[in-house]
Amino acid sequence: MIQPVYQFGPFKLEPGRNRLIRGGLPVQLRRKSYELLLFLLERRGTVITKEELVERLWPGQMVEESNLSQHIYQLRSLLGESPTKQPYIQTVPRIGYNFAYPVDILPPEPPALGALTNGMMEGLEDPFLIDTGEISLSSPFLEIAESDSGPAAATNLPVSSDVSPWEKGVRKWIPRGSKVRLLLILVPVLLVALSFAYWALREESESVVTIEPFTTLSGMEQDPAFSPDGNLLAFSSEGMTLNNRDIYVKLVNKGEPLRITSHPQDDFKATWSPDSKLLAYLRRPKQCDTKSEVVIIPALGGSERVVTEASDGLDWSPDGRKLVLTDTDRPGGPMGLYLVSTSGTDRTRITNRENSPQYHDSNPKFSPDGNRIAFLRSWSHTSADVYVVDLQSRQEMALTRDRGKLTNLDWSPDGRKIYFVSDRMVNQRIWSLDLQTGALQMVKGLPIDIEDFALSPDGKTLAYVQAMIDTVVDLRPLSPPSPTPPCVINSSRGDDSPRLSPDGKKLVFVSNRSGFYELWLSNSDCTENIQLTRFSGHGVGNPRWSPDGRAIVFDRSTERQTEIYRIQADGTGLVQLTIDPSEDAMPAWSSDGSAIYFTSARGGGHQIWKMPSEGGPAQRVTSGPGRDAVPSADGRLLYFLREGALWQKQLPDGEENAIPELARFSVGRFWSLDLSLLHFVTQNHEEYPKIYQFDLGRRQITSLGEVPGFLPRWVPGISVSGAGNRMAIAYVRYKIGDIMLAKGWGK
């Protein structure tokens, strides 16, 4: 059957010749990538389900969906997709993919290799694609072939320049059209591939990596950072304190940790000066949405010096003159990278210069030569990619297209590779990206679910954090006696973000007990846990009940944004309510159920917006920054967070003011409004979190006791139902994180 030629952008796919052409030259293509591209082009303009694609590529085989995602990623990278261009392949969330780019159908070109396909290529599936597993080759010998009736038919390259002397000699005595000749041409290619595989396996088998604990303090150790001379490792730890991090330093090969800081605020993300004499780190207040201080201190302790402010991320340049950090130029504005002098006197923005609120740049790391900075660009808390910016040209380049949860990165000592953490294979694993060849490999021999790591200056030791965190939901009566006794929702995974139904009989919460963060439903006595959503992907959060208790709104982070969804309490009727290419999150119903308030960055910075409960056009409600809004029972007031404190606004167009009685409390996401009572949780240094009740009518604050654990960061943590006389609180029952050393790395 004669197949047409598909032309799109600078590419032409020629099914008759089994090849992809760009600018007149063939593109090296793996067999599965070719089959995937052909199928997408054949069904262009229509959505192809993931099941159809898997069956087409791996007929009759049991294949994980992650294999398809990996091939989609590789194909997108090969085609050169970028966030600023119209995509060739469009993702349809939860369903599949669509080739959305315009395609021209051209008549097939005359076959130049007819003799090959009828003679010496007989029995081979594909003359242009050779799939050797990890290595894919498009052989130059197969691009230039002689027919039985004439001289070489040069399909792309001249014979004189691309045929090896060895093959020229073979042509003199091997008959034209002979299968033997083909084998002799292919044998050297196969031998080279097998030789590479042999030495790779031998190198891997001879490289022995030993893993041993580096820290065994109580609580959680994080943020490992090797000193440039390789002798010391800095890290942050809670030590014997409760939910308060300090900076520690320890010799790599011996000795006990030395505590460098002891401030009541969190100290974390230490980075070394090039001479290993100083440490710079971030000091974050307990309030949410507030900036951190950048502090410099001698490496073994001493007088501190505050340099500047930052929102997140910190690294020291190899020449010692600059720091790079993440920050914004206005409250609620977009996050970009800044170069700051170590004196703090001058600051230059180097990324996100368009001031776009659509993404957040973080985790910056200087290259060993100091000419580039690698960083993570995030569209939501579960959607990020690795980028590099050149400090001379300020040109940015995307290195990955994961659109997944990426948490950390580091350079190899020679600057040729970037290592990063990604959930591209569901679990958090470390991957290496070769900047010269583009080869991407998962680092083997390490446990799953790694989030934090650092590479030693000689590249032979990897420090990583191995953590265990148990988050539970505690349900208790507001005031005894109660017909329903206290109970706990707990699994071996995380359980948080509890919301009690208006009648107090049901609880919706978020859990990753299925392997992904999904919505779950339970009775308020902790029985009958039922899974509500089945996205099979991370990103679900912030559920809230409708006033009648029949529906739930929540947000979900997808590849590039966070959107608002609605689902019935019985798990049916799932609807996506927002489609704006921005971050729409933290939804809450209006008191009459006709509208939904939510937090959005669509106006430039996070503010409160409002839309109909069935979806539709939205309008901005607050004039300044705001998150996590909830209306009063009578609909006259709107309560929301601003810089960690609770504010209120007279609806619809009244003033926005901080609640003066609560000015001394930092509540974060731990607050709940029920009728005329506002409950919240706050925590001070080295104390258990305390629960308070604020009577909005009497303006009185009452203490209700303590939370027997740590507060999880930035998730809804408390819910109260006056009708059911019930309170639900999420807390971390224990968190243990040790820094491990993988020695023998890179031998």
Confidence at residue 70, expressed as pLDDT on a 0 to 100 scale = 76
pLDDT average, residue stretch 589-617: 91
* Ranges 43-57, 151-165, 244-258, most confident: 244-258
The percentage of residues in the chain with a pLDDT greater than 90, rounded to a whole number, is 44
Tokens of 249: 């330093």
pLDDT at residue 673 greater than cutoff 70: yes
- Cβ(619)–Cβ(631) under 8 Å? no
Longest distance between any two alpha carbons in the chain, whole Å: 103
User: To 5 degrees, how large is the angle CA 683–CA 648–CA 568?
Assistant: 85
Average per-residue pLDDT for the chain = 80
Inter-residue contact 35 to 56 (CB < 8 Å): yes
How far apart are the C-alpha atoms of 448 and 444, rounded to whole Å?
A: 10
pLDDT surpassing 50 at residue 452: yes
Query: Which residues, in sequence order, are bridge partners of residue 50?
Result: none
Say how far apart CA 186 and CA 683 lie, in whole Å.
69
* Top-confidence residue, 291 or 692: 692
**What pLDDT band is residue 110 in, cutting at 50, 70 and 90?**
low
Report for 93-102, 145-154, 229-238, 346-355: range of highest mean pLDDT:
229-238
Distance CA 14, CA 501 (A): 58
Confidence grade of residue 355 (pLDDT, cut at 50, 70, 90): low
pLDDT of residue 719: 95
pLDDT digits (tens, 9 = 90+) for 334-345: 789 999 999 998
Q: Which of 214-228, 528-542, 641-655, 710-724 has the weakest average pLDDT?
A: 710-724
Question: What's residue 166's pLDDT?
Answer: 29
Domains of the chain: 1-109 (1.10.10.10), 332-452 (2.120.10.30), 469-736 (2.120.10.30)
**Of the candidates 233, 254, 235, 231, the residue with the CA atom closest to the CA atom of residue 246:** 235
Mean pLDDT of 83-92: 72
Q: Report whether pLDDT(202) > 70.
A: no
Check residue 442 and give its pLDDT. 87
pLDDT tens profile 493-502: 889 999 999 9
* Helical packing angle, 179-206 and 165-173, nearest 10°: 140
SS3 262: coil
Q: List the end-to-end C-alpha distance of the chain, in Å, as a whole number.
A: 53
Residue 206 binned pLDDT confidence (cut-offs 50, 70, 90): very low
Predicted pLDDT of residue 183: 38
User: How high is the pLDDT of residue 82?
Assistant: 56
In single-letter form, the type of residue at position 611 comes to M
